[in-house]
A and B are shown apart, each in its own frame.
Chain A
């Protein structure tokens, strides 16, 4: 990060992040100030998975979970879950209950644990403790990082046992799994999960007392709603603005628009504006459906029914860690190995829709297949794509509040504002470097 000279009153300041060139593209975050007016805020931190949508065409419907799992290194399970749900929908199958559904939920809990613990301890905690990153923080607070690694390991263990492999689970297929784990295999997960649950509870308490700026943001909040519990693997799409639809109606209510002069995509609610998915949205819309232990953790952390402060997302993620650990333990406790690891799913011509809650928010897949099950068309809408406009609006507010800060500090605030939303950078880029430029 570099900062040069001072700006002149009434002059133009430019604050820009640049990609180092692992992926093509210009600045990822661009802010232009004219005097004390925020003239322009442009954010492009995520590339839509267009390559994968194209790659899927002509492939068999059974290949969708394996191909889409490679879109995200941190959340392959989310892609698999949305993919299988959409393909099963196209073929007239719904796995909404029973041991196969429970296994999917368990696998998904593993991913939430892995992803949220990485973010809470390694990526977000340093912001609140005044460190530039996990490495600096680890020197003074080794125990925080150790906790993060321990929780991540518990999540990885679920992925390994249920998914067959830690990074890209290979055991998931349309209709269920290739192999259902035995009760004994799942029971090996209980001890690390119980420890993780204790850690998650302590983390919620610790996160609650971190210093949060007093911020309230008001994009429309969108998440799944599952009548059976806190949403993770299925449900209707709901919002705090009155939306309540089946996933099949997604395209009628949500639209992605190419933004002029940029490669960014802005997702909007048709006829309205930006919206936000992820922990803030899930919590606001479904906190009453949290498991009792997680609800209690939220209450003890001083959270009310709705939280609109993106900085406090660290507390919400900690609460969701409690939820995921507790849910995983409960599923394992009730599990009986099914007779068959999958149900038969025969292809038929049609369109299928699948929406699930990735750690970062709602992930929507739509596929059109022919009577042989060949994929004719694919639409994949990741949570970070959907959140870009809301995050951009956050940025604008941060800049407006921080006009008098020197560029380096303002840049840091902007980074934090982005980081609050746990954007899935790793899918699209390996580099996000912030530089401050003056014009």
Chain B
């Protein structure tokens, strides 16, 4: 599980906040929890060797603030409106995923759980809508992580 974001840019910190809320419980379930600040290329190192990567990030697609998005990127790209980067100047989450896919460095399962934000200016705190949604989002992410962990354990048991 990797929380992605920027701690200093308002709702862009949501992904980091969420994984911090549930890191202890996730770790207890055997899930490795990490944070990725700065550009997303580092994700390739972070998920190296993992069977499943759950990415937790802020989204800015125009949906109502606090909306939780879930995207399974295992076999297809994260839709552009849910990605987090320009195509020309920086490597964002969607691009990092596609880069890894093109190079055979993508975990077999990649799930993006995103929280729709509304303010991303430097120095801003989380918006009220996002702050209110972070707890519920954390539960959703934890459920996802536990589901993936169980599914992985079952698959491993079936085909040792």
- Give the residues from 12 to 44 in chain B that come closer than 8 angstroms, CB to CB, to chain A: 12, 37-39, 41-42, 44
Q: Which one, A51, A70, A135, A149, contacts B98 given CB within 8 A? A: A135
- Give the residues from 411 to 434 in chain A that come closer than 8 angstroms, CB to CB, to chain B: 415, 418-419, 423, 425-426, 429-434
B98 touches A118 (CB 8 A): no
Residue of A73, A123, A166 with highest tally of chain B CB at under 10 A? A73
CA distance A149 to B91 in the complex (A): 13
Which B residues are in CB contact (< 8 Å) with A153?
45
The smallest C-beta distance from A384 to any residue of chain B, in angstroms, reads 11
Query: Helix, strand, loop or mixed for chain B's interface?
Result: loop
Q: Please classify how large the interface on chain A is, using the bins under 10, 10 to 19, 20 to 34, 35 or more.
A: 35 or more
The smallest C-beta distance from A115 to any residue of chain B, in angstroms, reads 10
CA distance A134 to B98 in the complex (A): 9
The smallest C-beta distance from A317 to any residue of chain B, in angstroms, reads 16
A145: Cβ under 8 A from any B Cβ? yes
CA distance A432 to B88 in the complex (A): 7
B151: Cβ under 8 A from any A Cβ? no
B60 touches A132 (CB 8 A): no
Q: With A73-B6, A142-B102 as given contacts, are A433 and B86 in contact (CB-CB < 8 Å)? A: yes
CA distance A51 to B38 in the complex (A): 18
- Give the residues from 75 to 116 in chain B that come closer than 8 angstroms, CB to CB, to chain A: 84-92, 95, 98-99, 102-103
CA distance A118 to B89 in the complex (A): 11
Which B residues are in CB contact (< 8 Å) with A251?
none
CA distance A45 to B51 in the complex (A): 39
B121 touches A23 (CB 8 A): yes
B89 touches A432 (CB 8 A): yes
Which B residues are in CB contact (< 8 Å) with A118?
39, 41, 91
- Give the residues from 92 to 123 in chain A that come closer than 8 angstroms, CB to CB, to chain B: 118, 122-123
Nearest CB to that of B11 among chain A residues?
A22
A425 touches B122 (CB 8 A): no
B123: Cβ under 8 A from any A Cβ? yes
The smallest C-beta distance from B59 to any residue of chain A, in angstroms, reads 11
Q: With A24-B121, A135-B98, A167-B42 as given contacts, are A425 and B8 in contact (CB-CB < 8 Å)? A: no
Q: With A21-B60, A138-B102 as given contacts, are A166 and B42 in contact (CB-CB < 8 Å)? A: yes
A419 touches B95 (CB 8 A): no
A55: Cβ under 8 A from any B Cβ? yes
Nearest CB to that of A136 among chain B residues?
B102
The smallest C-beta distance from B11 to any residue of chain A, in angstroms, reads 10
Which B residues are in CB contact (< 8 Å) with A52?
122
Which B residues are in CB contact (< 8 Å) with A433?
86-87
The smallest C-beta distance from B103 to any residue of chain A, in angstroms, reads 5
Q: Which one, A133, A152, A434, contacts B41 given CB within 8 A? A: A152
Count of chain B residues with Cβ under 8 Å from any Cβ of A?
31
CA distance A434 to B9 in the complex (A): 23
A132 touches B87 (CB 8 A): yes
CA distance A74 to B91 in the complex (A): 11
Q: Which one, B7, B45, B86, B123, contacts A431 given CB within 8 A? A: B86
A426 touches B60 (CB 8 A): no
Q: Which one, B39, B92, B121, contacts A74 given CB within 8 A? A: B39
Nearest CB to that of A422 among chain B residues?
B89
A425 touches B86 (CB 8 A): yes
CA distance A23 to B9 in the complex (A): 9
B44 touches A149 (CB 8 A): yes
B103 touches A51 (CB 8 A): no
A365: Cβ under 8 A from any B Cβ? no
A20: Cβ under 8 A from any B Cβ? yes
B89 touches A423 (CB 8 A): yes
CA distance A188 to B122 in the complex (A): 37
B99 touches A20 (CB 8 A): no
Nearest CB to that of B44 among chain A residues?
A149
Which A residues are in CB contact (< 8 Å) with B38?
73-74, 167-168, 426
Which A residues are in CB contact (< 8 Å) with B99?
134-135, 138, 145
B37 touches A73 (CB 8 A): yes
Which B residues are in CB contact (< 8 Å) with A415?
88
CA distance A138 to B84 in the complex (A): 20
Which A residues are in CB contact (< 8 Å) with B39?
73-74, 118, 426
B91 touches A134 (CB 8 A): yes
- Give the residues from 113 to 171 in chain A that come closer than 8 angstroms, CB to CB, to chain B: 118, 122-123, 132-135, 138-139, 142, 145-146, 149, 152-153, 156, 166-168
B87 touches A425 (CB 8 A): no
Q: With A51-B123, A55-B123, A118-B41 as given contacts, are A425 and B90 in contact (CB-CB < 8 Å)? A: yes
CA distance A146 to B120 in the complex (A): 33
Nearest 9 CB-CB pairings of A with B: A73-B38, A138-B102, A425-B89, A432-B86, A135-B98, A51-B122, A22-B120, A51-B123, A167-B38
Q: Please, could you name 17 A-B residue pairs with CB atoms under 8 Å apart, sorted by A? A: A23-B120, A52-B122, A55-B123, A73-B6, A73-B39, A118-B41, A123-B89, A138-B99, A138-B103, A145-B102, A145-B103, A152-B41, A168-B38, A426-B89, A430-B84, A433-B87, A434-B88
Contact surface of B with A, Cβ cutoff 8 Å: 6-9, 12, 37-39, 41-42, 44-45, 60, 84-92, 95, 98-99, 102-103, 120-123
Extra contacts besides A133-B95, A430-B92 (17): CB < 8 Å:
A21-B60, A21-B120, A22-B12, A23-B120, A23-B122, A24-B121, A123-B89, A133-B87, A135-B95, A138-B103, A149-B44, A423-B89, A425-B90, A426-B38, A426-B90, A430-B120, A433-B87
